[in-house]
Structure 1
Amino acid sequence: MSEQETLGLAEEFAHYRRTVLEEVEVPGPAAVRRTVRGRGRRRLAANTAAALALFGGSAVGYAAMNGPEHRPGPVDPTPSVSVAPTPSDPASPTPSPAATSGGPASTAPNGRFSRAQLLGATVTLPAWRAGPGCPTSAVRISGDDREGVNWLIALEHGDVDGDGAVETVALVQCVLGTRGPMQVVAFDRDEEGKVVTLGRVVATTIDKPQWLFALDVVDDGTVRVQVGDIAPGGGWPGEWSQRQWRGYRWKDLAFAQVSGPTSFGPNPHSADLAVTATALVLGTADDGSRTGTTTVRIRNKGAAAVPRVELRLNLPSTVRPDVDGWAPCTNEPQDTSQPVTCGLGRIGAGAEVTLTLSFRAAEGAPVGTGTADVEARPMSGDFTFLLDLKDADNRVAMAYR
């Protein structure tokens, strides 16, 4: 190609840039629509461009530039670039259910306390039942079961008063020996962040329930407590206690039972006996010994039969069983055993057994005067001692002289 031809071709390219490229449209919605309609035309233009490239030469390129004006086809929109979403801040608090549902968020203070927080706080407990007990005002709950402390046994959390905030529910025992009263108490937080007592859920009683085994708070705010009719300890295993789950709800500024049984049936491991005994008065017999009798009555006040009863008389060792009145005993009273025992068989519910037992003291043996314990102890068929729920009346002091 000569220098003149090269200059002519450069002039044509300059003319193309001035007249054609100025009319190129910026891609937009209209260009997108034209792209769909003109897709076939673009393929034709592409084929034409390929042919020009193939047969290239300055003459072909020059002829194309001098042909009819050519408006370039619409420009395809630039594809968007996908960007991974920015990870959410892990420290951002999760909206509360009230906020996400469109309802107003709870403004009540959060009453959730950990075990360590509750043990470290000064609290006020509802009053323990009458009798010797633990302090209730401005006290610290203990993490162990030392004598005379308020022992924290179990802890649960839930919205028990329906204010939209969580409260803390605790099972506490006033430790007195192997037993001691127990209660479930709900705690909340005041505006200053201090622990305040919401109320007592349930407590043990002298009668029933005598024990609280477990604690749970369900989603609707019901506080569930596993109660037992018999308190373990003193030789009575916890397995003997009949257990029930009872539910309690906060209403009218107090907790009330809303579910579960309200009473216990007869416990097969318990009984209720009562015993009385007349005074033993020893008189002088013809042989110089001293003899006398006492009348002992044993009554079954319980709702179920007692398979066996052991009667014990803790008399001075110089006063021994005589012949009369001992036939109902299933054992042979021993002249040297102390205390004197008499094994009896079944006593039905509401039934009573009366024994007139004779005693003798050898001539010259010192007896003196005083009182002796007479006790009736209930037993199972396999000679296991049962629990007398009201044991105050299954022992009596018998006078002797």
Structure 2
Amino acid sequence: MEFRMAEETLAKIRVIGIGGGGGNAVNTMVENNLRGIEFIAANTDMQALETSKADVCLQLGPGITKGLGAGADPERGKEAAFESLEEIREVLKGSDMVFITAGLGGGTGTGGAPVVAKLSKEIGALTVAVVTKPFFFESKNRMKKAEEGWKDLKKHVDTIITIPNDRLLTIMQKGSRLMDMMKKADEVLLQAVKGITDLINLPGHMNVDFADLKAVMKEVGPALMGAGVGVGENRAIEAAKRAIDNPLLQDVGIDGAKGVLINISASEDSLTMNEFMEASSLISQKAHEDANIIVGALFDDTLKDEIRVTVIATGVNGMEEVVTIKKPMQAVANKVQLPERELAIDKHTKIPADSSASSPNKTFNRRNPALVRKQTLPFPSTLDETELETPTYLRQAAD
């Protein structure tokens, strides 16, 4: 079993949130001050972009959607993304790593994410999707769209981390408000991105080289994410156990994983080498004997007396089969059947070549209404709950 620990490197990392759910996740990440990342919000809904906290706001498909959203139609979302290919290329140019975040089941995120992913791969970026799937109580049609979109997106990314919203029900109080649940979904997406990017960007005992990160996450397909927090004398073991037994790990766990990223974070004054070894050893025992395991021991003084362990596992047997949506605590009697037709971008479809050479004076400013690079960013203490993505039947106009 191989452990790799390397020095910090400066990689250009971007997070692009597509649609309402992706935009909400980006707002949460901005509010939590993730370091070393440029944030992009891409949406067909201009009203949502006007309240975005992202560094760059990109309107998708202004000619097709007129800034009014995709109407919960993934095909329309895909067409909108194709209309804005050159603007997407501009904002992603030079990226070493691109995170694509979206809530699957609607129009813009479901249809647009695969288009963005394919372009991201073509420019040579390590491309990681972090997405949610709908709650069981949402319409079957929305679930089917999510599954179609997930299958299409998977073909165009290096790694895809999937958070079924139903799993959030197992970690929330029974009386939790709907908006609390939606915020929790954003927080889980935040944890997934933070758990990976902090390995490169935060100081610590052991930082991870981008090349090693790429070795674990390139062309691996579905991945699992779990996180746990521990306090007290046995806090490292407690946090590690909670991470690998996390309800968000769906039905398979990390047993036999071929690649594992482990982020062990604690305050600088409290983290000991023994705790580092306890947590990393417990997790590595679950992985395949020849697994490539990358461990980072990082400083985060906001944790005080806590220790946090985040695990990203790739190459896990059985992940391909875990694509159906289940009710919490019990399987759905009649599973949603995946349709024969896929909303797909053919792998061999050639995305038009970069036309930036013919537009040398193109700049990021308000003269291009589709693309706005913000100069200053507000950091309000709370997220506007009215902008959180809600099920289709609760909205007057879905994006």
Query: TM > 0.5 between the two?
Result: no
**Structure index of larger Rg:** 1
Q: Which has the higher contact order (CA 8 A, sep 6+)?
A: 2
Higher helix fraction (1 or 2): 2
Higher strand fraction (1 or 2): 1
